[in-house]
Chains A and B, each alone.
Chain A
Amino acid sequence: GQNIDQPTEMTATEGAIVQINCTYQTSGFNGLFWYQQHAGEAPTFLSYNVLDGLEEKGRFSSFLSRSKGYSYLLLKELQMKDSASYLCAVSNSNYQLIWGAGTKLIIKP
């Protein structure tokens, strides 16, 4: 089967750094996405990785290792507004997105 695993919930402190991990097993691979979703709102695109390595975009970075079936999202200088769920999704050989259940990130002052 195909599955995406990520922690259910994480807690971090404002101003700190947090890393959210995602491991995947899919039939083929055509890229990995991270989306942010605030409670009751639509997911919004954060990043896309298709090659191994680190992609940096402001306070957010995303890393991919295809050989390990592993990705992480790194959030720096955490702000209260970063409290949200972070969804990992993989595009498989049919270009269909397989979604993880999401990681709820709680930021404390």
Chain B
Amino acid sequence: DADVTQTPRNRITKTGKRIMLECSQTKGHDRMYWYRQDPGLGLRLIYYSFDVKDINKGEISDGYSVSRQAQAKFSLSLESAIPNQTALYFCATSDLNRDTGELFFGEGSRLTVL
């Protein structure tokens, strides 16, 4: 089983619908992140959380919200999806105590907004 699990893996929805992408991890890491990836662009940070009571906006947080329900769970919501939110979304974790700050990624959630 994957250490970082994302659901759903694929989702097609319509403009205006509310969507939630879920992420859970068994690595015991404190830090969790949500990124989106678009063709020709680097990974862009949406939100990140360093512990359950800590939520921070990334570079492209508009139109998104998150919830850190537990150390192991970090959900991303699109309150009213729009077509330019069509992208591949990745959840990632990192270990506070690891010097390199290496990220461990989930398998991705491909979202299409029609």
- Chain A residues within 8 Å of B44, by CB: 99
A98 vs B106: C-alpha distance when bound (angstroms): 19
Closest B residue to A30 by beta carbon equals: B101
- CB pair A42–B100 under 8 Å, yes or no, is no
- Chain A residues within 8 Å of B43, by CB: 43, 87, 89, 97, 99
Contact of B107 among A4, A33, A42, A97 (CB under 8 A): A42
Contact of A41 among B41, B102, B108 (CB under 8 A): B108
Mark out the residues of chain B between 41 and 63 whose CB falls within 8 Å of any chain A CB in the assembled complex.
Answer: 41-45
A42 vs B90: C-alpha distance when bound (angstroms): 8
- CB pair B102–A99 under 8 Å, yes or no, is no
With A41-B107, A42-B90: A33-B102 Cβ-Cβ less than 8 Å: yes
A35 vs B44: C-alpha distance when bound (angstroms): 15
B94 to chain A, nearest CB (A): 9
User: Is B34 an interface residue, CB under 8 A from the partner?
Assistant: no
- CB pair A100–B105 under 8 Å, yes or no, is no
- CB pair B105–A99 under 8 Å, yes or no, is no
Report 6 cross-chain contacts, Cβ distance below 8 Å, ordered by A residue.
A31-B101, A33-B102, A41-B108, A43-B105, A97-B43, A101-B42
- Known pairs A42-B90, A89-B43 / 4 extra A-B pairs, C-beta < 8 Å: A43-B103, A48-B100, A87-B42, A97-B103
